Each structure stands twice: as C-alpha cells, then as structure tokens.
Structure 1
Amino acid sequence: MIALAALDIAGTTIEEGSAVYRALHDAVRRHGSSADVADVARWMGADKRTAIRALLALDGDASAVEQTFVDFERLLAEAYEATPPVAMPGVLDAFAAFRERGARIALTTGFSTDVTEQLLERLGWTDGVVDAVVTTDDVPAGRPAPYMVHRAMERTGVTDVAQVLTAGDTVLDLQAGRNAGARFVVGVLSGGVPREVLEAAPHTHVVPSIADVPMLLDLLDTPAAIATV
C-alpha cells in the first residue's frame, strides 16, 4: 500500500523546458563563474542557493550568492513568462490514480517557495490538486538530504516510510528518496537525464514518465510481485 507519493516538480510533474537550468547558468556566468553546461547539470534537483554557492566557487565571488540567486529568480520568471510551463502528459491522471489508491500527493522541489508558488499558480495547481508542497525553504538542507520527503510525510500525516513512493528525474531526487527510506524510489526519464545515469543511482524502478508510475504500482500489486517485494 502506498500512502504518499512524493513527487519532484520540474522535469517530473511539470514541463518547463529546462528553463531553470538555463536561468541558473546565465545567472552564475553573469557573476563571474566560468561554469559550463556540464557543471550546472551536476546540480540538477539541488537547492538553488547551494548550487549557486558551488558554481560561484569555481571562479566567482562567493559573497555574491544572494544577488546571483535574485538574478536567477528574475531570469526564470522571464523565461516562464515567455514560455509558460505546462503539466507533464498524463500527470493529472496519475494524481487521480494515486488518490484512487488512497494515497496523498506531495510535491517536493529544489526551488524556493516564491518560485514554486508562481509556478503552481500558472498551472492552476493552487487549490486541492495536491495535498502538500515542500520547498528548500522548508528544510535545513535540500537534496540529497531526506528532509523534504520527511517534511512531506509530516504535512500529510504519513508516518511509515514503507508506505512512501518518491519519483524524480535527477540523480539527487533518487538519492533523496533512498536516504529518506522510501519503499519505492522511482526515476523518470521525462527530464532528459539518460537512463544509464538514473540506473546507476539508487532506485527501485526507472520508467519513461510519471504517467507510467500507476501502471508500475498495478504490476507490483500482483500476488507474485507482492511475494518478492
């Protein structure tokens, strides 16, 4: 039985065209970092202030972290204004399937609360679509620390990690799910990270998208599968 599905946002439940990583790259470059695309990719799924601090340390002024973060949020807002984010195909059906199983739904993200609220407002996900939203502002450390998953459990009243499923499109998402002790740690390929990269990280399953997770749970609920889980 799954009591909680704790799901990443960008690249997992919401398609935003990798705008977050372009904005992050542009912001740190403007503040003196020589970070390239590969450097930025290593921080996919992480708290953005943590990512900025590390990327500026390559060449830039570490004292500029907060100003860089402000620039990052501005660039991201401009990108979302130009190309509004949309729900991933099949995500609302997946939410419905989780609810049919009696599970609650939480979104977890490396975004700040301000960015997350703007993002969810653009999609109309501000009233009853999910049961909880946890951002890096809500916890002492972002991924791969387990705190966002555990805070999602707290906010939804779930106390048993054996009843938790996590899903995300980055290595840090999978590490956080493993560190949280979730029963199912699912990688999704919709964010563009290659299958071999996700499969090299801690996981229980890797599937094409969040739309495939309910079908995965159906298979896991068969008597033969239950006997082996």
Structure 2
Amino acid sequence: MEREEVQAVIFDWAGTTVDYGCFAPVHAFVETFRRRGIEITAEEAREPMGLAKIDHIQSILGMRRIKDVWNAAFGNEPNEKDAQALYRDFEATIFKVLKYHAKPIPGVVELVSQLRKQGIKIGSTTGYTREMIAVVAEEAEKWAYKPDSIVTSVEVPSGRPAPWMCLQTAINLQVYPLSKMVKVGDTVSDIEEGISAGMWTVGVLKGGSEIGLSEQEITNADPYQLQAKMRRAENRFLMAGADFVIDEIGDLLEIIDRINHRLIERKDSFIG
C-alpha cells in the first residue's frame, strides 16, 4: 500500500541549495547592463529572480526607471533586439563565474541525506539553461550534492511561474499525485511555480535572494534589522501563497513531518 507521505522534494538551485545569497546571477546582470552604460541596482537585478534568464532580462528592461535611463542613453526604449543582445552578453558573463558559486548552502547535503533515508526523491528546477546548470551541478557534486533530476526552463514550454518544470520533474521521478510533492525555493516565482503545479510550497529565507545577504553579512547584521528584513521577505512569500516559510534550509525536515501529518489526516478524513 502506497504511503500517505511526501514522496519527492523539488529544490531550486541558486539561493536555495547552492550559491548562498544567490550572487552569481546578480553580479552577471549588473555587469551586463553596466557594459551598455546602464547602471542597475542589486535590488533591481534581484526583483525578477527565479525566472528564465531571458525573461529576467526582459523584466528588468520593463521597469519604468530602466526604460527611462535606456531612453536617455540611446534615444529609444529597449526592444526585443536589445533584450536578445543583453542575454548573449549575460551568458558570456555568467559562465565566467558559475563554478565559483556552486558550493552547497550549509545544511543542504545533510538535509538531502535525511530526506533520502525517508525514501524521498530529490528533484530540481532552475532558471539557468542546461549548459549553465551543468557547470553548477558538476561543481556541486564535488561537495556531495547531486539531485535525482534536473529540469531547466529552456526544456519546457515556459519557465516559472508556469508549472511545466515541476510537472516534468514529476515525470522524471515517477511520482504522483502531485499533492505528495513539495516545491522549495528562495523566490516568489518558485512559490508560484509550485502552486501552479498543485504542490506544497516552502519559501526559504537565509541564503536566498529575497534576503540577498552573504553568510558573513547575516552573521554581522544587527539582529533587529535582520529579523525585520526576514519578516518582510516572509510576508512576500505568504502573500504569494506559500504553505510554509522557513528561516533556513535545514528547517525543512520539520515541515516535511507537518505535511506528512496533514496528508494522513486528509486521507483519514476522506475515508471517514
């Protein structure tokens, strides 16, 4: 008889399982625009985080301030041709830094080991292309992190917030119903992706893009300011519909227990 428990967890990559603070894409986006003479802030670079990278660039170009700056610099608002040119530059830039931002976030390797002991499969989705994530995955494996499945946004009809990467992961892992799968990520688009797929959703704060701080910055931060920042990020996740929000990735084990309890209750209620 099939267990009424979580069967699989789908993790995001940068900011969730590797690259504490999600800095590789931020640096690449900022540098890509700077080469065109357009200065964007780290906050602007982070705002669309989680999307497919071409969608991310188009989202930045759609920001009112960026449109105005671009228009002042080039005499017209950015168009699709500009977006494609920026994306090519972004690819060249990020490939230079990916391998240096692939170390697993503290607690990830231990968490995955514990999940596997419970018979839970490990999937992953990403806004990186297959070529990009191949670099990250190769480095992460050296640190003992290797998910059972990797699905990228360019291998499905569309990336986040659409459900396709999660659905393809379910196929790859041969897990159903989707109510027995959990999507974990550090961005609002991760949560939206999981909701679209009908899965449980969990937002992660420390190490993620919504907080956007390095380990050292979190250690050195004023505790009251850090808590305020974390609660604002938590509210964004909850407003997006997240089922749970955790301070750090290692807290997921407790959430899995809570979901399992709810799944069993749901079944008992249905039978009753």
What TM-score do you get using the length of structure 1 for normalisation?
0.87
CA-CA distance at 1:134 after TM superposition: 0.5
CA-CA distance at 1:140 after TM superposition: 1.2
Q: How many residue pairs align between the two structures? A: 226
Structure 2 residue runs without a partner (length 5+):
71-77, 211-232, 268-272
CA-CA distance at 1:15 after TM superposition: 2.0
Q: Secondary structure at the match of 2:96?
A: helix
Query: Following the alignment from structure 2 to structure 1, what is the Cα–Cα distance between the partners of residues 243 and 254?
Result: 15
- What is the RMSD of the two structures over their aligned residues, measured on CA atoms? 2.5
Residue of structure 1 equivalent to 2:58: 53
CA-CA distance at 1:197 after TM superposition: 1.9
Residue of structure 2 equivalent to 1:79: 97
> Are residue 14 (structure 1) and residue 18 (structure 2) matched?
yes
CA-CA distance at 1:125 after TM superposition: 6.1
- 147, 151, 155: which is aligned to 2:172? 155
Residue of structure 2 equivalent to 1:185: 201
Residue of structure 1 equivalent to 2:161: 144
CA-CA distance at 1:157 after TM superposition: 0.9
Query: Following the alignment from structure 1 to structure 2, what is the Cα–Cα distance between the partners of residues 55 and 219?
Result: 38
**Cα separation, partners in 2 of 1:45 and 1:206, compared to 1, 3 Å:** same
Residue of structure 2 equivalent to 1:24: 29
CA contact (8 A) 1:108 1:148 kept: yes
Query: Following the alignment from structure 1 to structure 2, what is the Cα–Cα distance between the partners of residues 132 and 186?
Result: 19
Structure 1 residue runs without a partner (length 5+):
none
What TM-score do you get using the length of structure 2 for normalisation?
0.75
Query: Following the alignment from structure 1 to structure 2, what is the Cα–Cα distance between the partners of residues 215 and 127?
Result: 23
Query: Following the alignment from structure 2 to structure 1, what is the Cα–Cα distance between the partners of residues 168 and 91?
Result: 24
Query: Following the alignment from structure 2 to structure 1, what is the Cα–Cα distance between the partners of residues 105 and 32?
Result: 26
CA contact (8 A) 1:12 1:209 kept: no
CA-CA distance at 1:90 after TM superposition: 1.0
Query: Following the alignment from structure 2 to structure 1, what is the Cα–Cα distance between the partners of residues 159 and 112?
Result: 24
Residue of structure 1 equivalent to 2:113: 96
Query: 2:54 is aligned with what amino acid?
Result: R
**Identical amino acids, percent of aligned pairs:** 27
**Cα separation, partners in 2 of 1:221 and 1:51, compared to 1, 3 Å:** closer
Residue of structure 2 equivalent to 1:5: 9
CA-CA distance at 1:102 after TM superposition: 1.6
Residue of structure 1 equivalent to 2:265: 227
CA-CA distance at 1:117 after TM superposition: 0.2
Query: 1:186 is aligned with what amino acid?
Result: V
CA contact (8 A) 1:108 1:133 kept: yes
Tell which deviates more after alignment, 88-97 or 67-76.
Answer: 67-76
Whichever of the two has the greater Rg, that structure is 2
Query: Following the alignment from structure 1 to structure 2, what is the Cα–Cα distance between the partners of residues 54 and 62?
Result: 11
